Structure 1
């Protein structure tokens, strides 16, 4: 079932969903199941599975020279999606990236999604390659998520890259999610500029928006109003990430270019240890989510980052 259908069928009730990360190479999927199992009592209708782009590794050739190779440390997104669907009978949402993939590789992934009965995808540009300051398109790949959305929609109606005249009799459209940034994308020179890009993704065929994590609900609510003022009426799902360690005070703003509220910063700084920090993060997220429930969000979407104990405590207070 499509994400938009899940939301429509909920008839105004807020749904619970989560995002998981594939295990690193050589780690069995059972570890992933152990983190999903405790959250199934909250009946997530869908689970997102991230995709990692390629990165460089250097192999010592033993003669004083290093050989550079490309690799993916977390492969297997589609396989994990299929395994989760089979085990839990829930819909899965694989993340599709521009970075690291050619248009042909994207087409193969989408065809595989059709074979597996996967109806939902998340279309993302992706980050710059590790060690690079700026995003550079993969040769033969897309430059933006808007272009990726166009390709996904084209394939849904039978228009393949090298068979442009072939169109299916029945429209088999994927339900496409795209990212939204309540505090604007790191590369956008202004919020209005960022919103224009979001509008282009929606005009290209996106069906719903999932926001980057935020810790101040005012920023999400203001973002929703600005999006609605632009004539965008698709669902806007808030992304929630509970703080778990003191290191997050520096790491999250550095990686995601977000602001943390002063009250939260002070509480975390004054915590005696990371267990205390985790409890602060849980309590902050519960309060945050209750406000979002009152606002009427369609889904509370949790970034699990491979852990579920704190999310379980949060969800237990809400669902």
Structure 2
């Protein structure tokens, strides 16, 4: 089921996040953990992509395990260190496995990483555009930052970047963890200003 449909119910949702193992020999243990987590009937479960895509090979396999347990999987996909071909390959794998939810993220900048003229993706909205060009029916989520993204100059720029993602087809947003509810409510109100 698409995450956007789950969220339309306006009910409280509980989701879990799974971090793929760094080594193949730990994959079965992670799958067993997923089966245990699914027993708690979360609304959905997300699977991270790994720093700089280092454990990206496990993401689809774990998302598929979540799906087998009857829970909607949300597969993270980062683009900063990915080529266009790599993005098409990963989206194709997700489609082949019937996984219809992607959390489109730029990804953290690895230490020592430099943007070059050949850099295909610089921002998450470019990834959203690419995914939509591959399959417009995939449900895409994006990240938002109630306390402002650490790389943004200010709140206005931060919300402008968020609007780019939404305008490209992001269907739901998820926040980073925050500790001050007042900051979230202020952020929410600012996002509604037209």
Is the pair's TM-score, using the shorter chain for normalization, greater than 0.5? yes
Name the structure 2 match of 1:101: 82
Question: After superposition, where does 1:154-233 map in structure 2 within 5 Å?
Answer: 154-157=133-136, 173-230=137-194
| Alpha-carbon distance in 2 for matches of 1:93, 1:135 | 29
SS where residue 195 of structure 1 aligns? helix
Contact 2:38 2:71 in 1 (8 A): no
Contact 2:35 2:66 in 1 (8 A): no
SS where residue 26 of structure 2 aligns? coil
SS where residue 222 of structure 1 aligns? helix
| Alpha-carbon distance in 2 for matches of 1:29, 1:114 | 21
The Cα of 1:136 is off from its aligned counterpart by: 3.0
The Cα of 1:29 is off from its aligned counterpart by: 2.9
Unaligned runs of 5+ in 1: 56-71, 158-172, 231-319
Contact 1:23 1:74 in 2 (8 A): no
Worse-matched range after superposition: 29-38 or 189-198: 29-38
Name the structure 1 match of 2:59: 77
1:2 aligns with 2:6: no
| Alpha-carbon distance in 2 for matches of 1:52, 1:138 | 25
The Cα of 1:82 is off from its aligned counterpart by: 1.0
Name the structure 2 match of 1:40: 38
| Alpha-carbon distance in 2 for matches of 1:181, 1:14 | 20
1:28 aligns with 2:33: no
The Cα of 1:75 is off from its aligned counterpart by: 3.8
Contact 1:52 1:75 in 2 (8 A): no
Name the structure 2 match of 1:282: none
The Cα of 1:32 is off from its aligned counterpart by: 2.3
Structure with the greater alpha carbon radius of gyration: 1
Question: After superposition, where does 1:259-298 map in structure 2 within 5 Å?
Answer: none
| Alpha-carbon distance in 2 for matches of 1:224, 1:211 | 11
Query: Where does structure 1 differ by over 2 angstroms across 4 or more consecutive aligned residues?
Result: 26-42, 72-75, 134-141
